[in-house]
Amino acid sequence: MFGNQSSRTAVARSGLVGFPNLGMETIARRTLKAVAAGEISYRAATFTDFRELARFISVAGGGLYEFLFGDLFPLVSPTSLLAIAVASPRGSLSYRNCFVAVDARTNAVMGVANAFPAEFLRKENYAVLPPRRRSHIQPMLELQDWGSMFLNALAVSDQHQGRGVGARLLAWAEDRARRAGFKHLSLHAWADNIKAVNFYKARGYVAQAVAEIPYHPRLRHGGGSILMHRKIDGPG
């Protein structure tokens, strides 16, 4: 499951299964040695971040998770369901597959990236979703750059946008893809999310095709979801 929203709080994408860390600890160590200028630092996400990770992913989806999970279980919000998946050490949404930007003064998470092999989407279990909701987003589920690393979510808080945080998180996802031997990093972006589409285009991402997702009162997007990708050079 995923969405790509750059509303006021995000430039993003999102989904859920599990794979090896692919050098996450190594990447984190290198990043921490080069703490970003100013009051921003970057690190691998940890279990204790799971609530914030879920919140960012939910907002990043642009209403996707509310559409899929809303009223699914009594007294359980879509964000709470996401938090359960994020807190697990396994699964594509796991905190182990996330990287965060942190406000160095408060230690608050202010940006999130989530990336995993696109093949994991083939292993997702959508049985819990009502058939009509699942079929509504089926074109998006099927339109993938199989064999690529998939950027499932990239989100930055309002007050920290315009400071290069999104670009740094994207660079992490590209480095993750490179170290794992993938030739492309792919993502989905809502067609009407011009800010996100332009963000990726400016960084070399090319539109491959569009998944036609009908407008719905609970999923208010027009123009469908654009599959984009960028070629990733091998280790230098």
Domain ranges for the chain:
24-121+131-231
Residue type, 101: A
Read out DSSP for 100-117?
EEEETTT--EEEEEEEEE
pTM of the model: 0.83
- pLDDT value of residue 60: 87
Q: For residue 14, which of 222, 179, 155 has the smallest C-alpha distance? A: 155
Which segments of the chain have a pLDDT < 70?
Answer: 1-38, 235-236
> In whole angstroms, what is the distance from residue 90 CA to residue 17 CA?
6
Q: For residue 110, which of 171, 172, 164, 188 has the smallest C-alpha distance? A: 164
CATH number among 3.90.1150.10, 3.40.630.30, 1.10.3210.10, 3.40.50.1370, domain 24-121+131-231: 3.40.630.30
- pLDDT value of residue 145: 97
Q: Is the dihedral of CA 146, 148, 151, 152 positive or negative?
A: positive
Residue 226 · residue 188 · CB < 8 Å:
yes
- What's the pLDDT tens digit per position in 123-174? 888 888 999 999 999 999 999 999 999 999 999 999 898 999 999 999 999 9
